[in-house]
Amino acid sequence: MTAAAPDPKMNMGQPVPRYDAVVKVTGRATYASDMPLSDPAYAFLVTSAIAKGRIDSLDLDEARRVRGVIDIVTHENAPRLKDSKLFSNGGYAGTTIQPLKSADIAHDGQIIAVVVAETYESARDAANRVKVSYTATTPSATFDSPGTTIAAAKGQNAQFKEDPKVGDFAKAFDEAEVKLTASYETPTQHHNPMELFSTSCAWMGDELVIYEPSQFVHGLKHGVAEQLGIDADKVRVVNPYVGGGFGSRGSMTPRTAIIAAIAKRLNRPVKLVPTRDQGFTITTHRAETRHEIKLGARPDGKLVALRHEGAEVSSRPDAYCVGGTKTTTRLYACPNVDSLVSIVRADRNTPGFMRSPPEVPYLFALESAMDELAVKLNLDPVELRRINDTTNEPIGGKPYTSRSLMACFDEAAKAFGWAQRSPQPKSMSDGDWLIGYGCAATCYPTQMGPAAARVRLQRDGRTRVEIAGHEIGTGAYTVIAQTAAERLGVPLEKVAVFIGDSDLPPAPVAGGSNSTASTCSVVTMVCDQIRQRLFKAVMPGQSLTDKAKATVGIGQTPATQAAKGDRPLDLEKAFDALGVGVVEEYGEWKPEGAPLDSFRAMHSGQVRLVGGDQMKDQIAYAFGAEFVEVRVNRFTHEIRCPRLVGAFAAGRIMNPRTARSQLMGGLIWGMSSALLEATEIDERNARYVNDNLADYLVPVNADVANVEVILLSEQDDRINPVGVKGVGELANVGTNAAICNAIYHATGQRIRKLPVRLENIEV
């Protein structure tokens, strides 16, 4: 096996190549803006140059004179759309700021006009010639800006129900022998998926087809229908491939319904491909956050008190927050815990999910603080984690369904060569470079949502799986195909998978790392329905349920070798007995503990994820440990991270190749987040400055010399039928702290604000 296709260990599937590998590398995969349209008009957005105020007038004369311009849609003539509620309040939208409704401007880069023309080029040319005069008022940009307000998240964000606490933190901290108080900050970040935020809309009579990269086709379908005031069954969202999501395409943005309405008005398909910089303001972002951590410990390292206070910036109308205290208060054994999450309102667009939304900023704070505490205690940071490792989360006392945190630490430490580290800061170097080693824990909740699928098996073994999942680059096609092939006992090449289309049975949002768990669970269930029908045909006398349970492993049992059944099914015989050529089954699956309205919600494009800390008698997380080597140049203070090693345990690994790729990408992303990524805000006018990929830096190949991913074998029968925890958002969580911890080791300097840049180093 190669590094890219690691040997499967116990409870891992085969590292088969990606289902979509060939179409992708040959450029034949069709992304939304590749979809052929008949005689489309092209839209180009005009966005606001102020963050707060109103439009006094729009001078469109010069723009209208550009040859090929068909229409210029502004707030004065825009089609009226219904408001959509925020996804967290039972709606579909990622923001309630609806552009083109009035002359008011609520954030930088808000859509203020849409130019529609015969070609992309004339639409862009005309858009450049739209002249806007504004009355600008001074916006509040971010933390510390005059005019912001702050209030507890609890009570204003429907999904943030409780600030976790237990015991008596104040007293315990007061009495603690060793204490640490430290503050941390993380910046605004943008997802910048490779594929731009395009939208094409085409009407056929009263039916609308939308081609748009989306992480939730059913949500988008219902959201757009609601905004247009039409029956959701008349709307179809199609995107067989999505060029990266990272959360940016999870909830509906205002652009889609606007383009749909313009297409309707023009009676012509309309195609929008916004620019990269427009992507920074017409979708969501990761909000900047601030944290204060207080840790109290005994001299032997046992935590006695932990408090995490976090603050996050949101928009004026929407109380979005990620509230990562749900994780940081439960990660380690500690009897006295307190927490508080607050939301600061500024004149910004509403933030949203970005890869591991709560865990990235909140674990950066906690895992940095743990390292600081280890230094105070003169303990190896790995040992400090071991001392405070736990099988039950401290807030509600619920057991982790499985937790391999320390096994991950041990494996990764060994592979990294942690034992060679001399613990003293500034004690290791190589020529011009100071060397630092650092580590941190990583974790991500295991989540699942209700899902439906249709599977068709033909006599010759050809299989068709239909489910409105999403291929955002993670390997969804591949693991779904593997599941069906394995379950039905047919060769992988015979399985065709259809996803990314809202006409297919609904699956949850491709977010929260739930996709593999949810889609593979339902596909497993539906394949078992097919097996049952076939078994019934060959063994009519048998008691169906018992037989099926024993032989095909339905229900909440894992798809391990043992449960797969010992009797291969003779397809020919079964089809003969049934007397048909095709068997087709549809099924709906929901995870244990899913709310009663799950299936209703699923069919109306609403998300009902369960898992993580929200389970009844247990708590489910995937864990990992990350080790990094950082080099800091003595002269230039340049910071490089030539080596990243992560070990991860996430239940059943469906495909070690695609899982490794997710985790490797996560480690690199985490390094990027720690050292490079930040959206700069001009505080005078609450506008983004580096809104392009030349100035919003992400690593290049030369920055990523060596990444090692270790997959640990873990079996968890208590989470879902396939025993899968998510891996998509697991690896980029711990890296931020690991890198700052390594910088401390290299330089003796503790940096508590991301990203770390050379000017922050003072050696």
Partner 1 sequence: MRPFSYQRATDPDTAVRALGAAAAANNPLTHARAQPLAGGTTLIDLMKLDVMRPAAIVDINPLASHWSAIEPKGDGVRLGALAKMSDVAAHDEIQRSYPVIANSLKLAASAQLRNMATLGGNVMQRTRCSYFRDVSYENCNKRNPGSGCAAMDGVNRMHAVLGVSDQCIATYPGDFAQALIALDATVEITGKSGARSLPFAQLHKAPGNTPDIETTLQPGELISAFFISGRWPRSVYLKARDRQSYEFALSSAAVALDVQNGTIRDARVALGGVATVPWRAREAEALLKGQRFDDGLAQRVADAAFADAKGRRHNSFKIALGKRVVARALQQAVTMEI
> In the complex, which residues of this chain contact partner 1 (CB under 8 A)?
47, 49, 121, 124-125, 128, 277, 432, 633, 635-638, 640, 675-676, 680-682, 684, 689-692, 694-695, 697, 699-703, 757-759
Backbone angles phi, psi at 334, to 5 degrees: -165, 125
Q: How far apart are CA 225 and CA 91, in angstroms?
A: 12
Q: How far apart are CA 293 and CA 366, in angstroms?
A: 7
Token couple for 702: 């030369």
> What is the smallest separation between the CB atom of 118 and partner 1, expressed in angstroms?
14
Give the up-direction half-sphere exposure of residue 9: CA atoms within 13 A in the CB hemisphere: 13
Q: Which residues contact 270 (CB under 8 A, 6 or more apart)?
A: 40, 41, 42, 43, 116, 200, 201, 259, 262, 263
Residue whose CB is less far from partner 1, 131 or 171: 131
Q: How far apart are CA 502 and CA 219, in angstroms?
A: 9
Residue with tokens 């949810």: 518
Q: Which of 207, 486, 729, 759 is the catalytic position?
A: 729
Q: Is 411 a catalytic residue?
A: no
Residue whose CB is less far from partner 1, 38 or 701: 701
Give the closest residue to 192 by CA, choosing from 237, 142, 243, 254: 243
Residue whose CB is less far from partner 1, 217 or 675: 675
> What is the smallest separation between the CB atom of 609 and partner 1, expressed in angstroms?
36
Q: How far apart are CA 358 and CA 196, in angstroms?
A: 25
Token couple for 626: 């990350």
Residue with tokens 């609601």: 226
Q: How far apart are CA 741 and CA 372, in angstroms?
A: 8
Q: Which residues contact 493 (CB under 8 A, 6 or more apart)?
A: none
- DSSP secondary-structure letter at 753? B
Residue whose CB is less far from partner 1, 15 or 665: 665
> What residue spans of 242-336 are helical by DSSP H?
255-266, 276-282, 325-328
> What is the smallest separation between the CB atom of 49 and partner 1, expressed in angstroms?
4
List b or e across 389-427, with b for residues whose CB sees 16 or more CB atoms inside 10 angstroms: bbeebbbeebebbbbbbebbbbbbbeebebeebeeebbe
List b or e across 112-150, with b for residues whose CB sees 16 or more CB atoms inside 10 angstroms: bbbbbbeebebbbbbbebbebebeeeebbbbbebeebee
Backbone angles phi, psi at 98, to 5 degrees: -100, 110
Q: How far apart are CA 187 and CA 696, in angstroms?
A: 12
> What is the smallest separation between the CB atom of 124 and partner 1, expressed in angstroms?
6
- Strand (E) or helix (H) holding 738: helix 735-747
> What is the smallest separation between the CB atom of 697 and partner 1, expressed in angstroms?
6
CA distances from residue 237 to 92, 375, 465, 600 in whole angstroms, order as listed: 14, 53, 18, 19
Residue whose CB is less far from partner 1, 564 or 757: 757
> What is the smallest separation between the CB atom of 469 and partner 1, expressed in angstroms?
35
| 8 Å CB contact between 81 and 93 | no
Residue whose CB is less far from partner 1, 278 or 315: 278
> What is the smallest separation between the CB atom of 513 and partner 1, expressed in angstroms?
28
Residue whose CB is less far from partner 1, 123 or 374: 123
> What is the smallest separation between the CB atom of 109 and partner 1, expressed in angstroms?
8
Residue whose CB is less far from partner 1, 173 or 696: 696
Residue whose CB is less far from partner 1, 538 or 697: 697
Residue whose CB is less far from partner 1, 566 or 759: 759
Residue whose CB is less far from partner 1, 541 or 635: 635
Burial of 557 (0-12, 13-18, 19+ CB in 10 A): middle
> What is the smallest separation between the CB atom of 197 and partner 1, expressed in angstroms?
17
Q: Quick one: three-class SS letters along 181-232?
A: EEEEEECCECCCCCCCCCEEEEEECCEEEEECCCCCHHHHHHHHHHHHCCCH
SS3 631: strand
Token couple for 739: 């890198």
> What is the smallest separation between the CB atom of 668 and partner 1, expressed in angstroms?
12
> What is the smallest separation between the CB atom of 68 and partner 1, expressed in angstroms?
11
Longest distance between any two alpha carbons in the chain, whole Å: 82
> What is the smallest separation between the CB atom of 229 and partner 1, expressed in angstroms?
33
> What is the smallest separation between the CB atom of 691 and partner 1, expressed in angstroms?
8
Q: How far apart are CA 417 and CA 437, in angstroms?
A: 10
SS3 237: strand
- DSSP secondary-structure letter at 475? -
Burial of 516 (0-12, 13-18, 19+ CB in 10 A): buried
First to last CA, the chain: 44
* 621-633: strand order across its sheet: 429-430, 433-445, 621-633, 639-649, 706-711
Residue whose CB is less far from partner 1, 124 or 154: 124
Residue whose CB is less far from partner 1, 30 or 760: 760
Q: What residues act catalytically?
A: 729
